[in-house]
């Protein structure tokens, strides 16, 4: 058992011995399926703290030759798979964490350092087959395979750290990618490569130096969706075990969307919240908000306006295909938005090709970034939002209308009203502080249409629900009447209690007092 060659099962043993462990061993059935196939090159990219390293430790424990890991997998999902015994502890595993080799190296020597470290362990195991002095890693593995027909399984963690931490050195990036291509592409000794990081494979022009990889990213995880984060069912089971409110956990950490699994949670944050029995921003605390600030301050194609729209609960269309999979080559707004998807700051809906801010944890990170980034007008609206909510709940329609006038004036430079949809976005922004007690739902389905904005109180609050109907250049009384005529309140099936009906109208020709408001209260 070595550091890089067949590292054993210690890392995975620590994981399963932890207080909270969610069984993701079903991932092994997928990797077994791809061994020695055309799909054997796997690049899985996810945000920080989404279980990438834990997955690699699990795979290392399962495949590494020279250690018996059967006990760690008994009673888990993989045990019932027909391939469980076939591949268990049968391969020479080469486990590489690129972050380890990058630290302290300032030039192309990173790959030389890697080769020397791995070769040293290969010499101990297969020295009799590597007799040529100065042989490189790829050549050494070729010689071993030629004499023994031993195949190797490669696990590469933080594969993209060179792209992220050496952004200014394109020469170093290209040299590193060429090294990986020589080591892995079309080599007979490769049985499987599972490579993981935050970014997908770096592109150069129209081609990739590592075009043999099948990519599974936050744009589309395909068969790996279930193993990207925690699922709804997994989080519900944990909440029952730890007696914590599922709706609150969901409001804080849910929001990542895939085709099959529509609810994916940040695993690190869920575990931290359950362990501490306290809801807070755990994932974002691992990195300063400066990282986000850099990107949202790039006002490509009116990017600031889109950020404001998403803070107001709206979604924004994006084309992720132009992105070059690095952190410095941005040509259009879509490139920045796509990077934020990969970093986990935005959720992505592949069906509609739209991005959105996924949950309360990430909303707070945007707020922190804007607070120090010169977004003074938006921050004033957010600060005033708490009073706006209280005035709404008290039924003070005149005060609400005046505050909406003020909010509109503040954000007019980045957000222009032109229809009820843009008005709805501004209303979502104006009621920003409500998210601590409410789940905001735009276009809430009612059976007879869609309520423009619904605020559903979270279980821990004693707040009433709010149903908001918006009108653009129409009488405000029409908004309240529509709520009643279409029986919007009946759609709140699982809610019983007071409901505040809010009708808001915007008159573009009334420059002094463009907003009007009517508020009524009913019970359900």
Same-domain check for residues 289 and 388: no
Residues pairing with 520 in the sheet: 501
CA distance 477 to 516: 10
**32 neighbors 42 (Cβ within 8 angstroms):** no
- The pLDDT value recorded for residue 511 is 76
Q: Is residue 189 part of a domain?
A: yes
**467 neighbors 460 (Cβ within 8 angstroms):** no
Q: Could you give the C-alpha distances from 150 to 93, 146, 190, in angstroms and in order?
A: 11, 8, 9
Same-domain check for residues 299 and 369: yes
Same-domain check for residues 360 and 467: no
Residue 4: HSE in the Cβ half-sphere, 13 Å Cα cutoff:
23
* DSSP secondary structure of 284-322: GGGS-THHHHHHHT--GGGHHHHHHHHHTT--EE--GGG
Same-domain check for residues 257 and 292: yes
Same-domain check for residues 210 and 235: no
- The pLDDT value recorded for residue 285 is 55
- The pLDDT value recorded for residue 443 is 76
Q: Is residue 226 part of a domain?
A: no
What is the domain-level CATH number for residue 193? 3.40.50
Residues pairing with 505 in the sheet: 471, 516
Six token digits for residue 128? 């009799």
- The pLDDT value recorded for residue 1 is 75
CA distance 192 to 36: 7
Q: Is residue 3 part of a domain?
A: no
Write the burial class of residue 74 (CB in 10 Å: 0-12 exposed, 13-18 middle, 19+ buried): exposed
What is the domain-level CATH number for residue 462? 3.40.1350
Cβ neighbours for 107, distance < 8 A, ≥ 6 positions apart: 172
- The pLDDT value recorded for residue 29 is 97
Same-domain check for residues 45 and 107: yes
**456 neighbors 465 (Cβ within 8 angstroms):** yes
- The pLDDT value recorded for residue 220 is 94
What's the CA angle centered on 469, arms 463 and 474, to 5 degrees?
Answer: 145
CA distance 45 to 198: 5
- The pLDDT value recorded for residue 289 is 62
Best CA proximity match to 72, nearest among 29, 8, 156, 1: 8
**446 neighbors 487 (Cβ within 8 angstroms):** yes
Q: Is residue 26 part of a domain?
A: yes
Same-domain check for residues 358 and 436: no
Cβ neighbours for 253, distance < 8 A, ≥ 6 positions apart: 235, 265, 266, 269, 270, 273, 283, 359, 361
Helix 360-371 / helix 303-311 crossing angle, nearest 10 deg: 130
Best CA proximity match to 344, nearest among 52, 50, 47, 43: 47
**Which of these three, 309, 340, 374, is where a domain ends?**
374
Q: b or e along 460-471 (b: 16 or more beta carbons within 10 Å of the residue's beta carbon)?
A: eeebbbbbbbbb
Q: Which ranges of 151-289 would DSSP assign to H, the alpha helix?
A: 161-165, 170-184, 232-242, 246-253, 267-276
Task: Provide the sign of the torsion angle of the four alpha carbons 481, 486, 487, 491, taken in this order.
Answer: negative
Same-domain check for residues 391 and 326: no
| pLDDT digits (tens), the chain, 524 positions | 789 999 999 999 999 999 999 999 999 999 999 999 999 999 999 998 899 999 999 999 999 998 899 999 999 999 999 999 999 999 999 999 999 998 867 666 889 999 999 999 999 999 999 877 678 999 999 999 999 999 999 999 999 998 888 888 888 888 899 999 999 999 999 999 999 999 998 766 545 678 999 999 999 999 999 999 999 999 999 999 999 999 899 999 999 999 999 999 999 999 999 999 999 988 765 555 677 888 888 878 888 888 988 988 889 999 998 888 888 888 889 999 999 999 999 999 999 999 999 999 999 889 888 887 778 888 888 899 999 999 999 999 999 999 998 988 888 767 777 767 778 888 888 899 888 888 888 877 766 666 788 898 988 788 999 999 888 888 899 998 998 888 888 878 778 889 999 999 988 888 788 999 999 999 87
Residues pairing with 248 in the sheet: none
Best CA proximity match to 64, nearest among 215, 213, 191, 216: 191
**519 neighbors 392 (Cβ within 8 angstroms):** yes
Whole domain around residue 63: which residue ranges?
10-216
Same-domain check for residues 128 and 18: yes
**Which of these three, 374, 407, 433, is where a domain ends?**
374
**248 neighbors 459 (Cβ within 8 angstroms):** yes
How many domains would you assign to the chain?
A: 3
**Which of these three, 167, 183, 216, is where a domain ends?**
216
Q: Is residue 223 part of a domain?
A: no
Q: Model pTM? A: 0.91
Q: Is residue 274 part of a domain?
A: yes
pLDDT digits (tens, 9 = 90+) for 403-458: 998 988 888 767 777 767 778 888 888 899 888 888 888 877 766 666 788 898 98
CA distance 425 to 418: 11
Best CA proximity match to 318, nearest among 365, 352, 357, 358: 352
**Coil, strand or helix at 367:** helix
Q: Is residue 28 part of a domain?
A: yes
CA distance 55 to 157: 10
CA distance 524 to 497: 5
Residue 104: Cβ within 10 Å count: 9
CA distance 160 to 327: 11
Same-domain check for residues 49 and 134: yes
CA distance 280 to 288: 15
Helix 267-276 / helix 246-253 crossing angle, nearest 10 deg: 140
What's the CA angle centered on 226, arms 75 and 320, to 5 degrees?
Answer: 160
**146 neighbors 82 (Cβ within 8 angstroms):** no
Q: Is residue 4 part of a domain?
A: no
**Coil, strand or helix at 207:** strand
**273 neighbors 241 (Cβ within 8 angstroms):** no
Same-domain check for residues 40 and 157: yes
Same-domain check for residues 344 and 401: no
The helix (H) or strand (E) run that includes residue 514 is: none
């Amino acid at each position: 058992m070595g550091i890089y060659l067949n590292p054993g099962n210690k890392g995975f043993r620590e994981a399963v011995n932890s207080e909270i462990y969610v069984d993701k061993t079903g991932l092994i059935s997928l990797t077994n399926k791809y061994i020695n196939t055309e799909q054997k090159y796997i690049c899985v990219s996810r945000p920080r703290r989404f279980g990438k390293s834990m997955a690699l430790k699990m795979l290392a424990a399962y495949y590494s030759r020279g250690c018996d890991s059967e006990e760690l997998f008994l009673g888990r999902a993989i045990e019932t798979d027909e391939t469980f015994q076939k591949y268990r502890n049968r391969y020479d595993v080469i486990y590489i964490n690129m972050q380890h080799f990058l630290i302290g190296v300032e030039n192309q020597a990173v790959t030389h350092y890697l080769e020397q470290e791995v070769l040293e362990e290969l010499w101990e195991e297969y020295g009799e087959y590597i007799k040529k002095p100065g042989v490189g890693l790829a050549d050494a593995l070729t010689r071993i395979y030629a004499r023994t027909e031993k195949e190797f399984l490669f696990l590469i963690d933080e594969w993209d750290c060179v792209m992220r931490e050496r952004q200014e050195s394109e020469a170093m990036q290209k040299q590193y990618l060429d090294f990986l291509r020589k080591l892995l592409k079309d080599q007979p000794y490769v049985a499987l490569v599972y490579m993981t990081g935050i970014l997908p494979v770096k592109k150069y022009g129209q081609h990739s130096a590592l075009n043999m990889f099948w990519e599974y990213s936050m744009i589309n995880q395909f068969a790996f969706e279930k193993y990207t984060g925690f699922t709804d069912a997994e989080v519900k089971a944990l909440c029952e075990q730890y007696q914590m409110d599922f709706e609150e956990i969901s409001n804080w950490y849910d929001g990542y969307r895939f085709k099959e699994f529509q609810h994916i949670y940040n695993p690190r944050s869920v575990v931290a919240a359950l362990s501490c029995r306290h809801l807070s921003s755990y994932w974002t605390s691992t990195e300063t908000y400066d990282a986000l600030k850099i990107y949202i301050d790039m006002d490509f194609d009116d990017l600031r306006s889109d950020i404001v729209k998403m803070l107001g609960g709206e979604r924004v269309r994006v084309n992720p295909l132009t992105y070059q999979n690095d952190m410095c080559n941005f040509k259009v707004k879509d490139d920045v938005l796509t990077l934020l998807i990969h970093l986990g700051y935005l959720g992505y809906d592949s069906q509609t090709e739209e991005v959105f801010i996924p949950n309360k944890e990430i909303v707070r990170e945007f707020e922190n970034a804007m607070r120090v980034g010169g977004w003074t007008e938006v921050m004033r609206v957010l600060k005033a939002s708490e009073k706006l909510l209280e005035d709404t709940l008290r039924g003070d329609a005149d005060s609400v209308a005046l505050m909406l006038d003020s909010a509109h004036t503040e954000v007019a430079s980045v957000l222009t009203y032109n229809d009820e949809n843009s008005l709805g976005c501004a209303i979502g922004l104006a009621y920003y502080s409500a998210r601590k007690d409410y789940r905001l739902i735009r276009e809430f389905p009612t059976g007879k249409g869609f309520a423009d904005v619904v605020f559903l109180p979270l279980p821990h609050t004693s707040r009433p629900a709010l149903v908001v109907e918006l009108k653009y250049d129409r009488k405000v009384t029409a908004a309240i009447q529509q709520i009643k005529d279409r029986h919007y309140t009946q759609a709140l099936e699982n809610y019983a209690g007071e409901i505040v009906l809010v009708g808001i109208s915007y008159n573009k020709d009334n420059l002094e007092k463009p907003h009007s408001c009517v508020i009524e209260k009913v019970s359900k």
